[in-house]
Amino acid sequence: MLLSILIPVYNEELLVCDLLKKVMDLQLINGIDKEIIVVDDGSADQTHEVVQKLITANPNKNLRLLQHPRNRGKGAAVRTGLGAALGEVIIIQDADLEYDPEDINRVIQPILDESAKTVYGSRILGEKALGRSGIFGILTGKHPNSYILAYLGGVTVTKWINLLTGSKLTDEPTCYKCFHRSALDKIQIEREDFSWEPEVTMKILNSGIRIQEVPISYHPRKRSEGKKINWKDGAKALWVAWQYR
């Protein structure tokens, strides 16, 4: 079996190689193979050059680099990656080190066990298990270093989608979305920005496929460190979820 790890990247020259080294070194469970597909979404910095240099230095790591000539958005980058992916299982990995590649094994396990066709890695479940913020953390699942508005936005989007679909998700906006290819066979991603996430979630749920969640770790970064998503994306996610109800 082959796992396709899709990594959309935009202006991450300082972090992307550190992330890629972690992904390349990752030993997958059950001895499955992996391919790593980086989609440079029109970066204006040296992202493309540093990734290409890493590929040249590691010719046997099944690492590919695709490029958009201009910035189009995360959804467009994911769609490009999906079009090139060869794996039976597909997972999205951000390039900014907020998510630890070691959690990939935990996320893909239910698909390998054939107990699920779609699995999301839940930061909320991860924080509740750790109880890092005491009783508040156990009750809410908020990471102590995450922005309160970002946390509330994610919770709002998740509860809205649950209301629309009858699902019981805890962390819909998570990066770690993992699919058996058969779950995506009849789904066409249309949205080119961050709103591809509520779009694909609604389409998966409306197709009758259950989304299983597993706890993952999370290391939120600050806007000064390059965090890109903002409140406007959250507001748009609510509208997009309504459109695909």
Q: What is the pLDDT of residues 164-174, one digit of tens each?
A: 999 999 999 99
Q: What is the mean pLDDT of the chain?
A: 90
- The confidence score (pLDDT) of residue 123 equals 93
Q: What is the pLDDT of residues 143-163, one digit of tens each?
A: 555 657 778 888 899 999 999
Q: Is the pLDDT of residue 220 over 50?
A: yes
Pairing of strands 89-92, 118-122: unpaired
56: Cβ contacts below 8 Å, ≥ 6 apart: none
Q: How many separate domains does the chain show? A: 1
Confidence of residue 138 (pLDDT cuts 50, 70, 90): very low
Average pLDDT of the segment spanning 187-201: 95
- The least confident of 72-76, 136-140, 146-150, 230-234 is 136-140
- The confidence score (pLDDT) of residue 230 equals 67
> What percent of the chain lies above the pLDDT cut of 70?
87
Residue 187 Rama label (left phi>0; alpha psi -120 to 50; beta) = beta
Q: Is the pLDDT of residue 30 over 80?
A: yes
Q: What is the pLDDT of residues 58-107, one digit of tens each?
A: 999 999 999 999 999 999 999 999 999 999 999 999 998 999 999 999 99
- The confidence score (pLDDT) of residue 154 equals 86
Q: Which domain holds residue 129?
A: 2-243
Q: Is the pLDDT of residue 229 over 90?
A: no
Q: Which residue has the higher pLDDT, 206 or 140?
A: 206
The whole model's pTM is what?
A: 0.91
- The confidence score (pLDDT) of residue 109 equals 98
Q: Is the pLDDT of residue 181 over 80?
A: yes
Q: Is the pLDDT of residue 120 over 60?
A: yes
CATH code at position 105: 3.90.550.10
Confidence of residue 224 (pLDDT cuts 50, 70, 90): very low
